[in-house]
Amino acid sequence: MTTSSPQMSSQPWLHQKGEIIQEFGTVKQFPLGLSYETRMYSCQRLNKVLANTQILYGLYKKHHWLMRGATFYPLHLVLDKHAGEQLELVDTLAERVQTLGGVAVGDPRHVAEITSIPRPPDGVEEVPAMLSRLLQAHETILTDAHDAAARTGELGDDGTNDALVSQVIRTGELQAWFLAEHLVDTPLVRS
């Protein structure tokens, strides 16, 4: 019979606490060819877009579950598809912040403090109101992303500029187009 030493145990070390090793709002030095100021600015802008994108993802999931009426099935599917695409953007944005040496916003309570997207009602809104809410959130993100892309481009942060333009803006514009077309009052048949 063998006895195990205290160091050799399969018992997980539960309820651990640690010291914060990097504060939110700081950047550590990486050899990226970008100044500290540029990386700090990019991280601040990216975290704002990241927080708003996390909220938009949540709105897409909520509205996906709460769809009603004759267009339930196609909207249920498109909103879930859009939610998946927003979730991919969340990961892209968070990884870019980390790549720059920053700390990506991830805790939902912190996201709620940073976002500029208004909180929706707890209940179920009419379908056009839900779609309109999604469009307003897209516009908030797109406005901020266009501005951030222009400024990070001027600062020489091509990686952040590229992520904002080729992923956040292009995805957001396409999704806004799909949503907006559902709010057009077009008769199904002509008399």
Range of lowest pLDDT (1-15, 102-116, 137-151): 1-15
Angle, helices 72-99 vs 36-66, to 10°: value is 160
Torsion angles phi and psi, residue 49, rounded to 5 = -65, -40
Mean pLDDT of 72-98: 97
Q: What is the dihedral of CA 113, 119, 121, 124, to 10 degrees?
A: -120
What is the DSSP-derived secondary structure letter of residue 157? -
Reduced to 3 states, what is the DSSP secondary structure of residue 187? coil
Mean pLDDT of 111-133: 96
Instruction: For residue 38, give Cα distances in angstroms to 51, 55, 142, 156, 157.
Output: 20, 26, 21, 8, 7
Q: Which amino acid is at 26?
A: T
| In the chain, domain spans | 36-181
Taking only the tens place, the pLDDT of each residue in 1-58 is 555 555 678 899 999 999 999 999 999 999 999 999 999 999 999 999 999 999 999 9
The dihedral sign for the CA sequence 121, 48, 182, 77: negative
What is the DSSP-derived secondary structure letter of residue 155? T
Q: What percentage of the chain exceeds 70 in pLDDT?
A: 93
36-181 is a CATH 1.20.1260.10 domain = yes
Length, in residues, of the chain: 191
Rounded distance between C-alpha atoms, residue 11 and residue 172, angstroms: 46
H runs (alpha helix) in the chain: 36-66, 72-99, 108-114, 127-154, 158-162, 170-181
CB 78 within 8 A of CB 140: no
